[in-house]
Amino acid sequence: MTTFSLPAPRLAGLVSALPALQQSNAALAERFGAETIAKIIAATGIETRPVATTETVGELGTAAARRLLDRLDWPAETIDLIVVVTQTPDYPMPATACVLQRSLGLGPHAAAFDLSLGCSGFVYGLSVVAALLAAGAARRALLVTGDITSRLIGADDRSLAPLFGDAVTATALEAGTDGAKIAFDLGTDGSGAPYLTCHAGGTVEPGAPRLFMDGTQVMAFSLKQVRPSIQRVMAEAGKAMTDVDHVVLHQANAMMLKVLGQKIGATPEQLVVAVKDYGNTSSASIPLALCDCLADAAGSKQLLLSGFGVGWSWASAWWETPAPGVCEVVRGDVSTARE
């Protein structure tokens, strides 16, 4: 594990872009049986999910980032860094960050690269961006996170089809000036790789990728690693659970969130649960949940974040930041992102 602190970046804004299609889990009853689907909805709390038809991470990311830059009145040439976290890139090469650098009209001075991470990806990406901002390598940055997971799931896979949604979030960050700190705890246990994986789609096993998940192993891993990671990052920050405004965990499903919330001592008022109309949106799930809980926020907010999943990989953060000036969820037309 790696636990450390950095000067905290300022959260300027977030925009989450969702595909136009919103799929109802109840509609899957015809395919998988009404009783099965009713049990899944009751256990997970997931009722509907955004599902991409033709949209890509690059297109949704461009739509979200354009909206964000426009609402913040940030000229494209002021962005020094763009990091894209995804496991469903537009192409094997170039990096999707390069696609966005071009589509957004960022200057050639802007560094652009991808990170291949899933459910822990937002916090991992945040740690990388925070470090580069703290080092003075950039003043303003975009962190774009999300996946089109539905394309990895077979139409007949009743264990996964009702769980995953597609979304991409753009987060605007800039170097902080108030002396606040952000604390991180990052860790990996590669022995868990076989339990949440795509067996095909790479050079080892070419072919159409298909997602495999052993839900029992995922739950066991989460219950084992999340609480200690949160304890370490809180100790690093010198904070207690009573200091937290919002606890935002990876939004896997409502049952897992409630169990983990109890284990870490979070109150129902602190714990953010935002899966009902989104499902599990991979690395977009934490910023998408932040869009929900910070939409009308004001003043300074103390956030406890933790992402965990594929890898096994986990990442937690304690972050004190002014409430963002922009916090929106947009859906639908990405035609301008294809220009």
The catalytic residue positions are 119, 250, 280
Nearest to 152 by CA among 160, 141, 142, 143: 160
Q: List all residues 6 or more positions away from 82 whose beta carbon is below 8 Å from its beta carbon.
A: 65, 97, 100, 101, 104, 106, 110, 111, 112, 141, 142, 144
| Cα–Cα distance, 211 to 48 (Å, whole number) | 20
Nearest to 145 by CA among 175, 177, 123: 123
Angle at 319 between CA 60 and CA 124, to 5 degrees: 50
Half-sphere exposure of 18 (CA within 13 A, CB side): 23
